[in-house]
Chains A and B, each alone.
Chain A
Amino acid sequence: MVVDSDKHRRPRIPALNIKFILLFCLSLFFLFSDQKNNYVSLLRNSVAIAIHPIQSLVDFPQRFGSWINTNISSRKELIQENQRLYEDHLQKELALQRLASLEQENIRLREILNASSTIKNSVQIARIISTDINPFRHLVVINKGEQDGTYNGQALVDSNGVIGQILQTNFLSAKVILISDTDHALPVEINRNGFRALAQGNGSFDSLSIPFIPNNADIEIGDLLVTSGLGGKFPIGYPVAIIDSISLNPTKQFADVIAKPLAPLNQVREVILINSN
């Protein structure tokens, strides 16, 4: 032990400087190629597969909790819940019947107008397995990846409204950018009059900025914003947000408009992936 420690008293690390320069250049190369094109997506994918078990592990307590919940709840509660869900289902069914006839009518009218009809989209349900991975961004990870047919730019909604879009698909999971991320802007229109606008994330979960609205635009508090489909990524007609506040300032060119997203962006667990091609 003593001899051993004497030998290692001044450990020399071989080729430290050269190694540093090489790895430094390599990481710079990764940074540039990740920013500009996707040469390194294969590498990122394989590392993501390696991390996937940990992500599932982190998600486990929540899943376990809900499993316990369903297994331990009493018969009476289950019957009540069943009753409630059944009534809910009936109501939804009724609404769907109306929707079906409206859809038919819409398709007919569109045919009259010679417009292409793209109302039906196939959907897929995914679960959010990891959130707040990065304090600077509003990113979440879902449990559907390339093998489930997800693709970059795919739109995500929940039962209330638009959530975000897929930023990056890995083999088993996908990274989703929420509409509240500061880097995200979504083409929307006002449902009442078709006025086009952009809904830009501002880093807060319960507000979106609507930039470039002229002071004299026809916009009111409580107006529903729906996707306009103009960006080419989101299908048309999904609800996004409701206008929350409008402050007019005559000295400024545009009004400050804030909208409140309909989907609870920081509470949602299950999301719906919309397949639009």
Chain B
Amino acid sequence: MPSEIKNNQNKIIAFLATLICITLILIPAPDLLKTYKPDWSLLLLIFLAINLPKEFNLGTAFLVGLLVDVSKGSLLGQHALASLLIVFLVTKFHLQLRIFPFIQLTAVVCFLIIIYQFILFWINGVSGISSSFASYLGPIISGTILWPIIAKLLSQLFTFSTTKK
């Protein structure tokens, strides 16, 4: 398959995946699961930055972050800033991350979600929005658990121009 067609295909899939992320953010969850809503968009962005860093990097992270900001009603730029930083880190080290064993990669993703949540917490604190500690812990746990599943699922969807591993 010529790489240009593959590129376009990937772009369409990424676009659809972003739409699904926004839908998942907006879907009301039952009270029990409410605090465990994972950062869907962040998981998608991390996956893209590891596997397709040429096509999807900072610009994508920024745009998706803005979409999340508007749909969550947070300060405009909060999620954009946080995902920008995470994607920057991932893109910098994507070659190392690619050869990590799966469990190690999951640990790294967990660490990245912690940084992400910390930035959100920090911006919330600066702008005077108080919130409980548990609401930051939930997405970290659920995101780490969901990462292997989402990564497997997404690697089925996208076609890679570079051979993995």
Binding site for B on A (CB under 8 A): 4-5, 8-11, 13, 16, 19-20, 23-24, 26-31, 34-35, 40, 43-44, 47-48, 50-51, 54-55, 57-58, 130-137, 139, 141, 167-168, 175, 182-183, 203
For A30, the chain B residues whose CB sits under 8 A away are 66, 75-77, 80
CB-CB under 8 A for A58 and B84, given A10-B95, A13-B91, A31-B78: no
Interface contacts (Cβ under 8 Å), in number, total: 129
Q: Verify A28–B77 contact, CB threshold 8 A.
A: yes
Would you list 12 pairs from A and B whose C-beta atoms are within 8 A, ordered by A residue? Answer: A4-B3, A8-B54, A16-B57, A16-B92, A20-B84, A23-B80, A34-B75, A54-B22, A130-B28, A132-B29, A133-B73, A182-B130
With A16-B92, A31-B81 known to touch, is A137 a contact of B129 (CB < 8 Å)?
yes
Cα distance A135–B130 in the bound complex, in angstroms: 11
CB pair A31–B77 under 8 Å, yes or no, is yes
CA distance A87 to B133 in the complex (A): 50
Q: A58-B23, A136-B135, A137-B129 are in contact. Are A44 and B76 (CB under 8 A)?
A: yes
Contact A34 B73 (CB under 8 A): no
Question: Given A23-B58, A27-B81, A175-B73, is A58 in contact with B161 using a C-beta cutoff of 8 Å?
Answer: no
Pick the contact of A51 from B70, B84, B132, B162 — CB < 8 Å? B70
Contact status B23-A57, CB under 8 Å: yes
- What A residues does B53 contact at CB under 8 A? 11, 13
0/1 interface trace, chain B 33-74, chain A, CB 8 Å (1 if under) = 011010000000000000001100111001001110011111
Contacts of B76 in A (CB 8 A): 30-31, 34, 40, 43-44
B54 touches A11 (CB 8 A): yes
Residue of B nearest to A59 (CB): B26
Known contacts A51-B26, A130-B26, A134-B74, then 20 further A-B pairs from the complex at CB < 8 Å, ordered by chain A residue: A8-B54, A8-B162, A9-B162, A11-B54, A13-B54, A23-B59, A23-B80, A27-B81, A27-B84, A30-B75, A43-B76, A51-B71, A58-B27, A135-B35, A135-B135, A137-B73, A139-B73, A175-B73, A203-B131, A203-B132
- Residues of chain B from 149 to 165 with CB closer than 8 A to chain A in the complex: 161-163
How near does chain B come to A201, taking the closest CB pair, in angstroms? 11
| Chain A residues with CB below 8 A from B26, complex form | 51, 54-55, 58, 130, 133
B124 CB-CB contact with A under 8 Å: yes
The distance in angstroms between the C-alpha atoms of A8 and B54, with both chains bound, is: 10
Residue from the list B66, B81, B131 in contact with A24, Cβ < 8 A: B81
CA distance A141 to B25 in the complex (A): 13
- For B70, what are the chain A residues with a Cβ–Cβ distance below 8 Å? 44, 47-48, 51
What is the bound-complex CA distance between A137 and B26, given in angstroms?
A: 14
Chain A residues in 8 Å Cβ range of B57: 13, 16, 19
Q: Could you tell me if B67 and A132 are in contact, using CB atoms closer than 8 angstroms?
A: no
Which of A10, A20, A50, A58 has the most C-beta atoms of chain B within 10 angstroms of its own C-beta?
A20
Q: Is B114 engaged at the interface, CB distance under 8 Å to the other chain?
A: no
